[in-house]
Amino acid sequence: MPSPFPGMDPYLEHPDIFPDFHDSFVTYLRESLQPQLPEPYYAAIGRLAWIEISERFIGPDVDVVASWRSKVSARESSGGVAVANRSATEPLVIHVPHDERIEPLVEIYLGRGSARRLVTIIEVLSLTNKTPGERGRDLYLRKQEEILESQVHLVEIDLLRGGHHTTAVPFDRLTAAAEAFNYHVSIHHFDNLEDYFVYPFRLPDPLPTIAVPLLPGEPAVSLDLQAVLNRTYDAGPYHREIDYRTGPPAPPLSTDLRTWAAEKANQRAASE
C-alpha cells in the first residue's frame, strides 16, 4: 500500500520511524542509481560510524545500596556516627555503556582496485546530523568540510523539516533565493566551488528528479527521488507501523499544510 502523500510523508519524520526509513532510503537510492551509471562507474554503500555514551537508563545497583544502608543502620543502632566504610583495595566500579552508531551513505566510484577514484558522495541527512550537540552532527560537519575542500562532488538530501540547517549551501542565501520550502537537495560540484545547485520543495510536491554529477566532461545521471521514496515505503513496514489517526505529525505544520495533511491522513485512516 503506497503512502497517502504525493511526496514526502511527514509521518516518516517521527524519531521512532525515521532511522529505519533513512537507512532503507539509502539502500534503494543505490539500487535506483546503479543501472544508470555508465561503466566503469558504480555505486557502493559507505558508512559513517562513531561511539556514543548509551542513552539507555542504568538504575542504581540494589545490592550496593542495600549493603550501604545495612552498615549505616548497624552504626546508628550502636550509638555511633553513621559513616560508610571505605576499602582502599575494592574500588567502586562505574559502568558507562557505549553504543556504536552507524549511518549509511552512497559513494560513487570510478574504476576498481588501487586505481579506483571516489567521485561523488550522496548523503541523506539524519536526525542526529541536524541536532546540535550530537556527536554525529559534529562528525558530519567536519566530514562535510573535508569533502568541500576535496576533488569529490557532494549531494545532500534533507527530508527533515525539524532540526538545524545542515547542508553546505548557506542558509541565508538559500532562503533569500528560494520560495517557501520544507525540504531540499543541495549539490556541490568540486569543479565549481562557488555554486550550489539546489532543489527546494514543499510537502505537497513530489520529490524532485536530480542530476547527480560525475567527473567533468561526463553527463550527469538522473535520479528520481520520488521513485526511491515509493520503493522504500512499499518495501518497508510503514503502512502498518504508522497510525494516521494519531493527529498532525511533528514538528508542527503551518495552518494550510496542517489542513491539507489532515485530509490525506484521514483518507488513509478511512480506508483501513
pLDDT score, position 59: 42
Residue 98: pLDDT band with limits 50, 70, 90: low
Rounded distance, CA 36 to CA 210, Å?
A: 13
Rounded distance, CA 267 to CA 269, Å?
A: 6
For the segment 206-219, what is each residue's pLDDT rounded down to a tens digit?
A: 999 999 999 999 99
> Does residue 238 contact residue 216 with C-beta atoms inside 8 Å?
no
Residue 272: pLDDT band with limits 50, 70, 90: confident
Instruction: Tell me how far the alpha carbon of residue 18 is from its chain's centroid.
Output: 7
For the segment 103-126, what is each residue's pLDDT rounded down to a tens digit?
A: 999 999 999 988 999 999 999 999
DSSP assignment letter at 58: -
Residue range 173-177: average pLDDT? 97
Instruction: Tell me the CA distances in angstroms from 9 to 96, 97, 167, 220, one per residue in order.
Output: 37, 35, 21, 28
Residue 198, beta-bridge partner list: 186
pLDDT score, position 80: 55
Q: How many residues does the chain have?
A: 272
Element (DSSP H or E) covering residue 181? none
**Mean pLDDT taken over the chain:** 88
Element (DSSP H or E) covering residue 179? none
A 10 A CB-CB count for 131 gives 15
For the segment 31-54, what is each residue's pLDDT rounded down to a tens digit?
A: 999 999 999 999 999 987 655 554
Identify which has the larger pLDDT, 85 or 26: 26
Residue 191: pLDDT band with limits 50, 70, 90: very high
For the segment 61-95, what is each residue's pLDDT rounded down to a tens digit?
A: 444 444 545 554 555 555 555 555 555 688 888 87
Residue 271: pLDDT band with limits 50, 70, 90: confident
> Does residue 26 contact residue 45 with C-beta atoms inside 8 Å?
yes
> Does residue 52 contact residue 98 with C-beta atoms inside 8 Å?
yes
pLDDT score, position 78: 56
Residue 173 has pLDDT above 80, yes or no: yes
The proportion of the chain whose per-residue pLDDT surpasses 70, expressed as a percent, equals 83
Identify which has the larger pLDDT, 198 or 52: 198
pLDDT score, position 91: 87
Instruction: Tell me how far the alpha carbon of residue 122 is from its chain's centroid.
Output: 13
State the residue for C-alpha cell 497517502.
4
